[in-house]
Structure 1
Amino acid sequence: MGGTLSFKPEEWNSMRVVARYLSFFTREGVYRFVDGLGDALSEAQRVQFLREALRALRAREQPVPPQEDVERVVSLLLDRRRGREAGSIIASLALASYPLEEEGEREGEG
């Protein structure tokens, strides 16, 4: 198995971007979307959990990731070979990500 080397830099970037937005749920203690994305066994389930997460962000009047990043991530999640790994990586990054509102503060430090 090629492991994480099978992802291009722009795919990694999009996974990080989407994970950062999904980290809203982990900060709120809502793990359903992140766990579902990371644990889903089928391509359709992975995309469904992403869609539900994006819908929930909108319902909570939270920002959503840029369309380009979502499209790239959807393509990865639908990939039979890399989709499960991509879902697991996005979920892991979402659990580890710092809040969006702190991003500017961290960049301005030092």
Structure 2
Amino acid sequence: NRLQESLALFKTILSYSFFQESSTILFLNKKDLLEEKISRSHLATYFPAFKGPQGDAKAAQEFILQMYVQNHGDHPKSLYKHFTCATDTKNIKIVFSSVKDTIFQENIGVFNLE
């Protein structure tokens, strides 16, 4: 399943030495499709550890997010998470503004400009 492949790739990428000194920004896109699919099928069918109510998109999002957080594990830098819908331009503007601010704040700290 694609989610399992994505989780494995995420974990692999985080293991590369280059990324040990980098914060991670995770975009979980297509939240609209997730909401649609959750209304028709139960996440527990694919992930038995999911104990949330059937049809609850927020519970499904939180469960999926926690799988990524667990894979991030003891990574030395922060994980910034965003659920997105690429066709929702207002949401994308907010997310990219947040990402820009995050990068800016981290660089201020790196260069001791606080």
TM-score by length of 1: 0.28
| Structure whose residues are more often strand by fraction | 2
- Tell me: higher relative CO, structure 1 or 2? Use CA pairs within 8 A at least 6 residues apart: 1
TM-score by length of 2: 0.28
